[in-house]
Each structure stands twice: as structure tokens, then as C-alpha cells.
Amino acid sequence: MKEEEIDFSIVTVCYNSIRTIERTIKSVISQTYKNYEYIIIDGNSNDGTVEVIEKYRDFIDIIVSEPDNGIYDAFNKGINLAKGRFISILNADDTYNPNTLQLVLETAKNHPNALIYGDTYFIDDNDVVFSSNIGKFDPTQLKSGLGFMHPATFVAKSVYDKVGLYAVSKELSIASDAYFLLKCYTQGISFVKSDVKVFMRTGGLSEVSFYKAHRQYLTALKNHNLINDKEFQTESFKLTFKGTLKKFFTRKSVANIKLQLWIIVIALFNFIYKILLFNRLKKGFFRLFGFKIGKHTHIHNSTFLSLGKFSIGDHSVINPKCVIDNRGTITIGDKVSIAHYCKIYTTGHDINCSYFTGTKKPVTIKDHVVLFSSCIIQPGVTIGEGAVVFPGAVVVEDVPAYALVGGNPAKVIGERNSNLNYKIDYGFKFIK
């Protein structure tokens, strides 16, 4: 294959990684997009890692096994050997989904000289996703982090040509990757978000020494004049406090505690709003938590799965026993009638993802829509103005305006009159 024809160079660095290296290799060679080269840089492992790598020699373009000066020296070796237009560094305890390169390619078509990044999910030893880094790069929030992690990056080779390689130094012993990303930012490299998911098993270098790495990152921010002395001192104090807590709580335990507390908060929210007798009190309670509720609109005793991210217009009604999954955004228009036992979902799971990660898509329900009882609205759906969903229907795709739909999955079975003049006011008069 000619040099200019290679789209991706994937570099895996490892040292005594017999427990995880095979899964990493399999995640690369199972890519649906095949125009890539695979390079493995091993630090002269002596635990059987090299023997595992040799099993897959036919799928690996370059194998180097020799002593190095640390992980960033290994990174640089791989980059110097790479011929692809984009280079990714996949550590020996990290994995990709099979469609990763395909997703990056779609983004790279419009951003040939960018740094493309995605989301990182943390996996425990039982192959359970317990936390994630799902964010977006925001230069105003650099002191809190970049908004993404280095293993989820795909860097144009032209970026390395401009910015240089990874620093190999004691001062950046476990944060040279973050330092490199900061150099990219200060030198005007574009950071572009993709739908890529990368899975990082806990226990790696940065996991074990997370707070030391973040302190090195703060020092890099200061050296780049991206934070001042006062901000550096404040963030360092916060880091020391978090480091103390780290002695008692692992990242996984903190994630579990946060989840349980959030579940309790949502349960209390639903309990309180349901016992409020007057609609005016209910509306005030909703608005206190970021809900937007229109005039003459009534939400009877249904169940919400989050706080906020929900708006409903005027003269609409949600009848009792509905499930409203507002973990993603739900937007409902005016004069909308939602009957008993309906379920509106904005979240689900990616069934093709190696680790069954969650998905989130907004739902929009426009004016004069009618949802009859027990229908289910799936994530990402828009229901057009005046449309009607019949009882028990499962809506998995957008519904045209004034269409009548029914069935599983819901199909168009008729058309509704578009001359609609009614308003809805289904509150109880004595508790208005």
C-alpha cells in the first residue's frame, strides 16, 4: 500500500500487559474500516505479552519490542514509524468499538488537519462501565480539564509535524499527553468532536496516579499562561482535598455513590410533586428545578426520570401514570394531549457497542399532537403538528404533521383534519 493511501495509523504501546493486550488487539483488527496500519511498540516485556502479540503478527504491520525511556518515548517511536493521515494511540488496556475508524473518517472528511476527539468510558475488571468522560472542549474551562481524554483522540499527522512530539521529561512523567494537547490548542489546532467511544480499563498509569497527573497538567497550564498564580493555587488546593478523599474512595466507589444519591433525589422529587394538591404549587415546584410549564397546562401524577430538560407549552395535559424520561431534552408544544400510561424515552442503549453504553437523543412533540394511552415514543423522534398516535403504538421514527399512526413499529394509517381550533384545560377546578 502506498504511503499516501493509508488513512489511519493505530499505535499501541505496552509493557507487561499480558492480561489486556489481546483484547486491545482484537478491537483494532475487528474494525469495519480497513484502510489502516497497526503498530505495536512493546517495552521489552517479559511476562508473555510478546508471545500474545506474535499470535496476531499477520494483522500487525510493525512490531517493535525493545527497552524505552517510558510511555511517551514509546508514543514517539510509534509516531515516527506511522504513515497514516491520522494517528491514534491506543494503550494496551484500552479498546475501540468496531465502527470507530469509520466514524472518525466521516468527521475527518471536513477536517483534514484537525485533532478529532470522542468520549471515554471507564471499565472495571468485571467489564462494567461505571463512569465516563463525555464532554466538549471549552477553552474557558481549561483549569477543570480539556473536556476529553487523550486515548479518545485521532491526530492528523500534519499536527505532529507542526506541534512536535511528546515531551519525555521527569516534570511531565505522566501528563505529557495533556501537555501535548495544550500545545495543540495554543498553536491554533482545531479540536473537533466526533461520535467515537473509547473504553479505558481502570488501573493504568494515569488512573493510579491521577492526582499527580492533574497537578502536572495544572503546572502546564500555568507555564502556558492559561491560568494565573491565584488560579493555580486555588486549583492545587482543590486537588489536594480531592487527593485526600481518594485515599478513602476509589473512582468507581465515587461514581456509585453519586448514582445512588441521584436516584434518591429523583425519587424524592417525584414523591413531593405528586403530593402537592394545587396545580399552581406543582408548577412552581417544577419551575424550581428548571422545568418550563405553559399556561393552563396540567401535569398529573406521572413519573419523571431527571430534573429539568423539559418544556411544555400552553393548554396541554399529561395524564396520570405516564413515564417521562427527561434525562435527555423533551420539548412539547401547545394543546398537546398525552393520555394515561404513555412513555416518552430520550435514552437507551447502543446494542452494537462493545460495552452496551447508553445513548441519548431529544424528543420533540409539536402543537395539537394527541398521544392515546399506552403508546411509547422512542429517543430522537419528532412528532409533527396535529399528529395522532393510537393506543399501544411504538413510535421509532419521525411522524409527519397530521398523520394518524398505529402499530409496532408505528406506521401511517390515515390523515387527520388540519382545521383544529380546540384548547385543552384538563385541570381539576377546585385545585387550580
Task: Give me the active site residues, please.
Answer: 349
At residue 194, the 3 state secondary structure works out as strand
* Cβ–Cβ < 8 Å for 239, 210: no
Phi–psi pair at 80, nearest 5 degrees: -65, -25
Q: For residue 54, with 0-12 CB atoms within 10 Å meaning exposed, 13-18 middle and 19 or more buried, which class applies?
A: exposed
CA-wise closest residue to 61 among 45, 40, 79: 40
Classify the phi-psi angles of 402: left when phi > 0, otherwise alpha if psi is within -120 to 50, otherwise beta: left
**What grid cell was written down for 118?**
470522542
Q: Are strands 303-304 and 153-156 parallel, antiparallel or unpaired?
A: unpaired
* CA 408 to mean position of chain CA atoms: 29
Cβ–Cβ < 8 Å for 133, 120 = yes
- Choose among 89, 86, 134, 90: nearest CA to 106: 86
Sign of the dihedral defined by the CA atoms of residues 252, 254, 260, 266, in that order = negative
Alpha carbons within 13 angstroms on the beta-carbon side of residue 12 total 30
Answer whether 367's CB lies under 8 Å from 335's CB: yes
Q: Are strands 358-360 and 347-349 parallel, antiparallel or unpaired?
A: antiparallel
Do 198 and 94 contact (CB within 8 A), yes or no?
yes
Q: Exposure of 361 by Cβ count < 10 A (0-12 exposed, 13-18 middle, 19+ buried)? A: middle
Angstrom CA distances, 363 to 250, 293, 318, 378, stand at: 36, 16, 15, 8
Strand partners, 416: none
